[in-house]
Structure 1
Amino acid sequence: MELVHLGHSCVVADTGSARILIDPGAFSEGYETLEGLDAVLVTHQHFDHLDVDKLPALLAQNPGAELIVDAGTAEVVGERDIAHTVREPGEKFTVGGTIVEVVGGAHAVIHPDLPQITNNGYLLGGTVLHPGDAFTVPERTPDVLLLPTAAPWLKVAEAVDYLRAVAPPLAVPIHEAVLANPDLHYGMFETLAPRGTEVRIAPRGVALAT
């Protein structure tokens, strides 16, 4: 599988049978000009994961792409009359020839005084896990974990603990745009990763083979 990190939570996955875009948000760049997509997956409704103003143009230039969202995001795109499909945790569906499993269900707690929203994690082809904003540990170990680096709901120790809980052969840090310089966090991941896990940094826009 080939992955391209477009900054923050946005990733393009080319599985060989499908081209899938995940989380085209406001802190990411480069997805606006993409063509040939088979699906656009959104983990949850926060603006750093979905720039709803740019979404119609993206879908217009990818007429074959299905927009797949969680239940909370469905309300947001429904207000704009944007065609979409809602998927729930526990569901499996196929994009091209790639099986996608929906995992998780709830966004990590930001603060007890804030309502907790829905969040879909997506496991692509049984090998690559994008958890969105959650600490979802799948039933089987993925080959690649797209690892959240920093967020209002996340401190570095929790990110390390999540990395150790999943213990994938390869971890690729994402969700870094809230940091002025994420290298310190990346170094912590490399130092504290579990035995057998490689941490590989994916510069924005550069294809990464997994």
Structure 2
Amino acid sequence: MRAVQLTHLGHACLLVETDVRLLIDPGTMSDFAALTELDAVLVTHQHRDHVDAARVAALLTANPGARLIVDPDSAGSLDGLPTAEVARPGERLTFGRTTVDVHGGLHAAVYGPIPGCTNNAYLVDDGAFFHPGDSFALPPGEVDVLAVAIDGPWLKIAEAVDYVRAARPRVAVPMHEGETADPAKYAGMLGAFSEIPTHRLTAGEPTAL
């Protein structure tokens, strides 16, 4: 597996750098407007905290070479965005020398009859990095760096711990904490209870993992 460099840009938004620059889940609680030289923007699902359509449209204007990749439900719900490529579980995408395999399928259940939506999980370079979006989708094999949601209306911290213990990454990277008053507390519990090394990224700071 190749090493990746990650930059946490708030909430569930991560810039993944290999030989290319991939931006995942640029939503309303994320700071991504100044990015340039992007090769792709990947959206896991249609919720606004994962895709801010107006700002993504401006981002794509500033990055004319970037491909926009979305899940099936997002394709019909994001007004004002340029034509996107729809990716489905089982497909492999290629950007430069970097591969992104699509996994998952559905957003984690929020509550009872509340309708769900499609949710893509993205596996970079055969396990170098895995972003599950708002789901408990497991990578298909060994994974080096796993992004893990630590807060949300569909989640409790015990479920995040169980998810990390099931995936067994080398390192877990907490995310999805934009509405959390004390994200350091939740990240600390994730590491302590899962007994998996947990690295909380400093917002806006590129980190090699």
TM-score by length of 1: 0.95
The aligned residue for residue 169 of structure 2 is 168
List runs of 5+ in structure 2 lacking aligned partners.
Answer: none
Distance 1:206 1:81, change over 3 A: closer
1:115 paired with 2:115, answer: yes
The aligned residue for residue 23 of structure 1 is 25
* Contact 1:108/1:116 (<8 A) preserved: yes
- The alpha-carbon deviation at position 139 of structure 1 amounts to 1.5
Percent identity, aligned pairs only? 45
Which deviates further from its counterpart, 112-121 or 181-190? 181-190
The aligned residue for residue 100 of structure 1 is 100
The aligned residue for residue 35 of structure 2 is 34
Corresponding residue SS for 2:136: coil
1:125 paired with 2:125, answer: yes
The aligned residue for residue 46 of structure 2 is 45
9, 12, 15: which one pairs with 1:6? 9
TM-score by length of 2: 0.96
Please report the RMSD computed on the Cα atoms of aligned residues, expressed in angstroms: 0.9
The aligned residue for residue 71 of structure 2 is 70
- The alpha-carbon deviation at position 22 of structure 1 amounts to 0.4
Tell me the matched-pair count: 205
Distance 1:50 1:107, change over 3 A: same
* Contact 2:56/2:81 (<8 A) preserved: no
Which deviates further from its counterpart, 86-95 or 175-184? 175-184
What amino acid sits opposite 1:159 in the alignment?
Answer: A
The aligned residue for residue 204 of structure 1 is 203
What amino acid sits opposite 1:22 in the alignment?
Answer: I
In the alignment, the residues of structure 2 paired with residue 59 and residue 81 of structure 1 have an alpha-carbon distance, to the nearest angstrom, of 9
In the alignment, the residues of structure 2 paired with residue 182 and residue 96 of structure 1 have an alpha-carbon distance, to the nearest angstrom, of 35
List runs of 5+ in structure 1 lacking aligned partners.
Answer: none
What amino acid sits opposite 1:141 in the alignment?
Answer: E
- The alpha-carbon deviation at position 81 of structure 1 amounts to 5.3
Structure 1 runs of 4+ aligned residues shifted over 6 Å read: none
What amino acid sits opposite 1:209 in the alignment?
Answer: A
- The alpha-carbon deviation at position 145 of structure 1 amounts to 0.2
